[in-house]
Structure 1
Amino acid sequence: MEKPIQKTELKKSCANCGAELKYKPGTTNITCEYCGHEEVITIDERGFKELELSPYLKKMGAQKHSEEISMLHCKNCGANQHVEENYKSLHCIYCSMPLVIEDAYKEEWILPGAVLPFQIEKEKSFAIFQKWVGKLWWAPNKLKKAALDPQFTKGLYLPYWTFDAQLSASYTGQRGEYYYENQSYRDSKGKKQTRRVRKTRWYPASGNVSGFVDDTLIEASQQKTGRIPKKIAYWNLKKLQPFNSGFLSGFVTEKYTIPLKEGHLLSKDVARNIATRWCKQDIGGDTQQVSSMNMSLSEETFKHILLPIYISAYRFKGKEYNFFINGENGQISGTRPYSFWKIFFAVLLGVIILGVIVYFAK
């Protein structure tokens, strides 16, 4: 019996010309690039669900709200990319290495509960990338050329876990209050001087704090290369929409490689930092020390979400470079190569000019 196609692998065809419909960033429409036909993505009015964490951390719980999808694994950088996009060039979005469609395999994943759709068109992201490259000093000409070719910039949905919980903690510590004393000393010339010195009086402190921790964001994928720079990894999660595969049309979707259990442990570290901050706020004073803290989390829920980013992958002299543009707010970051010859000739020109100046100065 032939296995049915899973819903995330279906491609919507244009009712007019039969071409593939693709998501139009910043809208709730999928559109045909050939004839302009548009269709509206149906948004679930019930919103997205926060899934109870405990059942998913048990062995059988991971099978709920999950389905089988086709994946392509990049043997060079380790990225796992879902076969949602029409892979025309079959190149890894991170490192641009060739991918082989025959290597595709099936794998279970926990369905995304929500997606933050792209808010920026690919053309705008391309213009942002061009402007950024144009400001780079000593960049190789090949990089400048890459910036003029749209095929180097692709849209990617990144997987993240978010965790919510009620947090409570009891603590012991110390509250520090500043005071100042005059102190005498001798300067370098042996002359007696006076200065004010800040000191701290410490008082014992203890108490309890509690509150709701909302949307702790944890990366759900990692590769040998191509990590997303923290400076642009900020999205407005209020723009999340209930998951609909229509938002993925025309883009690559990366599968999570950090399992839910590991993501949960990482979220606990974040929660502990939040609890420590709350404890210090509760202690008050000018400075604080938390000696011990007993933290507990309850009513824990989670979501698997997808967040948008544009990537331009570039190889120069055997080394990989990535440029990242946040698909929601347009922030850009990346690493760049330097042209040895441009720097060499610039230094050489500087030496020649300096030599001419010295010669005529004589």
Structure 2
Amino acid sequence: MQTEPQQKAELKKSCVNCGAELLYAPGTTELQCEYCNYTQEIPLTESSFEELELKAYLDSVGSQSHSEAITMLQCKNCGATQHIEENYKSLHCVYCSSPLVIEDATKEEWILPGAVLPFQMTQDKAHQVFQKWVSGLWWAPNKLKKASLDPQNTKGLYAPYWTFDAQLYANYTGQRGDYYYVSVPYTTTVNGKTVTRMRQERRTRWTPVSGNISGFVDDTLIKASKQKSGAIPQMVARWNLKELKPFDSSYLAGFVTEKYTIPLQEGHIESNKEARKIAERWACRDIGGDTQRISSLNMKLTDETFKHILLPVYISAYRYKNKRYNFFVNGQTGAISGQRPYSFWKIFFFVLFILTIIGVIIFITNQ
């Protein structure tokens, strides 16, 4: 039962001209040979993404019907679990750059991705975005800017996420607040005399309310992996999920794929928390007025489905004074964020320069 899915995920495609392995060309629907530039179109499927019934998986009924075994390497330093294609030249962790030992590779089961968001920019383009960002950093150590010159430090990763869909129903009780204003006297001093004046103060008129809300919660995005450090920043982790493609392993060729380490059950709990926030927003909108209070909210989710999806991000890891820093570039939008070190000496000499200028001004002023 596992043979066919395994071939679907790990089958390597070779160039018909020179025999080299074909790699996915970001921003296209093609595989490309990096040696002779031969291209091969990735077959487009008219089928939509398959939403898997959540309850069956939580009850372990459907756990094998959409799963497969893949080769995984776990970083012993930061804990990231990665599937690295045979063609990937540098066997180093994308998060912390620690060496990965190929002999430690193991076969692990994973829920087959239902969809993938292909990379829309090349490694060179992502590296240019990273270089531009680094060059604009104040007080950055010179070694950081030198490190940014090597494109090999920027690596493409497909990060795993869960998405959850559900029909949401909820009833609520609370209060609707409507603002009104009253004139309030106050005293002040004008030309040495105490005078009384009026000012407007805002008050809130509260009215008890109750009601019910319903709607479809679509694609609640929950991260499916965790590391000791190096988490993808929130401002980078924003993708247009309307551009998702039905899963095809061709899109993974030449990139690292991270296996989910947050199980489906845990992801479902997080999705329920997000669904409750959505229900609270809907309830406030339904209550209306200028402000709202929610006393109770009873929520129910039905027809729950989920997908395992892969989303693109470029990562650059850099060590400075025995501390690791990560920089992230969204592989679809180009958004960038990350941690950065500061140069003590650059800051020291700048402060010294400012103090010198101030000292010179004081000296000239006192002459």
Same fold (TM over 0.5): yes
Three-state SS of the structure 1 residue aligned to 2:235 is: helix
Preserved contact between residue 166 and residue 298 of structure 1 (Cα < 8 Å): yes
Cα RMSD after superposing both structures: 1.9
Matched ranges for 1:126-165 at <5 A: 126-165=127-166
Q: What letter is aligned with 1:33?
A: E
Matched ranges for 1:72-91 at <5 A: 72-84=73-85, 86-91=87-92
Q: What letter is aligned with 2:285?
A: Q
TM-score after normalising by structure 2: 0.94
User: Quick one: distance in 2 between partners of 1:242 and 1:85?
Assistant: 23
Structure-2 residue corresponding to 1:92: 93
Among 242, 252, 255, the residue aligned to 1:251: 255
> How far did 1:350 drift?
3.1
Shift in alpha-carbon separation, 1:124–1:3, aligned structure 2, 3 A: closer
Matched ranges for 1:294-333 at <5 A: 294-333=298-337
> How far did 1:123 drift?
1.2
Preserved contact between residue 75 and residue 100 of structure 2 (Cα < 8 Å): yes
Preserved contact between residue 6 and residue 68 of structure 1 (Cα < 8 Å): no
Q: Deviations over 1:60-83 (max 9, x none)?
A: 422220001111111111111112
Three-state SS of the structure 2 residue aligned to 1:233 is: coil
Preserved contact between residue 6 and residue 69 of structure 1 (Cα < 8 Å): no
Structure-2 residue corresponding to 1:217: 221
Number of paired residues? 361
Structure-1 residue corresponding to 2:69: 68
TM-score after normalising by structure 1: 0.95
User: Quick one: distance in 1 between partners of 2:361 and 2:196?
Assistant: 52
Structure-1 residue corresponding to 2:48: 47
Shift in alpha-carbon separation, 1:334–1:353, aligned structure 2, 3 A: same
1:261 aligns with 2:265: yes
User: Quick one: distance in 1 between partners of 2:206 and 2:6?
Assistant: 66
User: Quick one: distance in 2 between partners of 1:297 and 1:5?
Assistant: 34
Structure-2 residue corresponding to 1:185: 186
Gaps of 5+ in 2: none
1:342 aligns with 2:346: yes
% identity of equivalent residues: 66
Preserved contact between residue 6 and residue 70 of structure 2 (Cα < 8 Å): no
Shift in alpha-carbon separation, 1:5–1:280, aligned structure 2, 3 A: closer
Structure-2 residue corresponding to 1:234: 238
Preserved contact between residue 161 and residue 219 of structure 1 (Cα < 8 Å): yes
User: Quick one: distance in 2 between partners of 1:326 and 1:16?
Assistant: 33
More moved, 274-283 vs 152-161: 274-283
Shift in alpha-carbon separation, 1:188–1:57, aligned structure 2, 3 A: farther
Three-state SS of the structure 2 residue aligned to 1:289 is: strand
User: Quick one: distance in 1 between partners of 2:170 and 2:55?
Assistant: 20
User: Quick one: distance in 2 between partners of 1:39 and 1:95?
Assistant: 34
Q: What letter is aligned with 2:41?
A: V
More moved, 224-233 vs 2-11: 2-11
> How far did 1:6 drift?
4.0
Structure-2 residue corresponding to 1:33: 34
Q: What letter is aligned with 1:344?
A: F
User: Quick one: distance in 2 between partners of 1:294 and 1:4?
Assistant: 41
User: Quick one: distance in 1 between partners of 2:87 and 2:197?
Assistant: 76
Three-state SS of the structure 2 residue aligned to 1:63 is: coil
Three-state SS of the structure 2 residue aligned to 1:203 is: strand
Q: Deviations over 1:72-117 (max 9, x none)?
A: 1111111111122534221110011111111111110000000000
1:199 aligns with 2:200: no
1:12 aligns with 2:13: yes
More moved, 26-35 vs 51-60: 51-60
Q: What letter is aligned with 1:156?
A: L
Preserved contact between residue 85 and residue 251 of structure 1 (Cα < 8 Å): no
User: Quick one: distance in 2 between partners of 1:187 and 1:23?
Assistant: 74
User: Quick one: distance in 2 between partners of 1:100 and 1:359?
Assistant: 64
Three-state SS of the structure 2 residue aligned to 1:148 is: coil
User: Quick one: distance in 2 between partners of 1:80 and 1:152?
Assistant: 19
User: Quick one: distance in 2 between partners of 1:191 and 1:254?
Assistant: 72
> How far did 1:228 drift?
0.8
User: Quick one: distance in 2 between partners of 1:70 and 1:26?
Assistant: 27
Three-state SS of the structure 1 residue aligned to 2:347 is: helix
1:208 aligns with 2:212: yes
User: Quick one: distance in 2 between partners of 1:4 and 1:94?
Assistant: 28
Structure-1 residue corresponding to 2:60: 59
> How far did 1:220 drift?
0.6
User: Quick one: distance in 1 between partners of 2:281 and 2:189?
Assistant: 42
User: Quick one: distance in 2 between partners of 1:249 and 1:350?
Assistant: 53
User: Quick one: distance in 2 between partners of 1:188 and 1:40?
Assistant: 82
More moved, 13-22 vs 327-336: 13-22
Gaps of 5+ in 1: none
User: Quick one: distance in 1 between partners of 2:319 and 2:358?
Assistant: 36
> How far did 1:353 drift?
3.9
